Amino acid sequence: MGWKEEYFRLGFNLSATIDDIEKATKLKGQHLPEKIYKYCPLNDWSIKNIENNTFFLSPIKLLNDISECACFIDYKSIKINDLIFSSGTLQLKEQLRMAKANFQQKPTKRNEFLLKVVRNRFLENAQKDFKHNLFKDFLIGSFTENNDNILMWAHYADNHKGICIEYDMSDIFATWKESLAFLHPVQYKTKLFDFTEICLANNLGKAINPYCIVMPALIKNIAWSYENEWRLILTKEFQNQGLSMLFQEIDNGGMLINMPKPSAIYKGERFDNNSKNSTMLNSLCKSQKIDISEMATSNLEYKMESMVDAEIKLYFGNNAFTVNKI
């Protein structure tokens, strides 16, 4: 069992004790990356975030994964609350009632088929409504463990024309006193997380470990595993507690949070050094004393590397400046 599996086993189950959660937090602290990174285009938003030391937390609806927060719920095992239904699902529920009545009065193959169709449509819509109401208040900020991933540069940094912002983890702790509680690694799996037991506990009015609720947001399709993602997740329960990280709500349902000054900024290989935003970025980095460098395709591997590192390897070889850990 890897450390991530052990982390979630300890802290993200219904029977987790305070001691279990403390052990999970300690385990996570032992495996935190020294640096975390954010790939993004260079635009007015990224310039303002660098200038104001802020970071955008997104609602689920704005994220790019169509299966975001996907989970399995066995609706045969739980009592569904009508209050969570949209008007469309309530109409389907009435259609289901009528289809059942028709089948009971005249149990023909046609009526049996119509009953199955309406039931499936109802359950599908009920599941969408339930998940929407459960996860609609989640706010998520995404980071990654490295700055050299070619796919990340292509997908999130405007096809290598954007930037990658580096944050030092020790600076983050100094800025958010609550950061360790809300920052989690992402797991990548082939099967959906089974949310049924948590729903049952909720329906029975049992106290639920709040970490259980965010599990669907921390499990993604294995196809995304190249991202090596860490997520900062705030639920509505925590958003109302006056956290020191909170800065400003945004009209699109997101939120800006306070961030430390970036420890470095990397420009993509196709970065336009003659653009207006480039001039603003260089000026900001100079005034705030932020290291800035350009990335280039490695001559040895399928990855990106800073041009400074590339030049060192070119002149001194791959073993240049190797430092033994104490």
Q: What pTM was computed for the model? A: 0.83
* Residue tagged 């965010």 (tokens): 214
Residues 246 and 161 in one domain: yes
**pLDDT at 204 (0 to 100):** 66
Counting the structural domains of the chain, the total is 3
Q: What domain range is 298 assigned to?
A: 34-69+139-316
Residues 118 and 160 in one domain: no
Residues 146 and 175 in one domain: yes
Averages of pLDDT over runs of 10 residues in the chain (326 residues) are 92 92 93 96 95 92 86 74 65 84 90 88 78 82 96 96 96 80 94 87 76 92 96 76 68 85 96 94 95 91 78 52 38
Give me the DSSP letters along 154-215.
HHHTTTTTSEEEEEEHHHHHHH-TTHHHHEEEPEEESS-EE-HHHHHHHHTT----HHHHTG
Residues 23 and 40 in one domain: no
Residues 40 and 147 in one domain: yes
Residues 216 and 260 in one domain: yes
Cβ proximity of 195 and 73 under 8 Å: yes
Residues 224 and 305 in one domain: yes
In this structure, is residue 323 part of a structural domain?
Answer: no
Residues 222 and 104 in one domain: no
In this structure, is residue 122 part of a structural domain?
Answer: yes
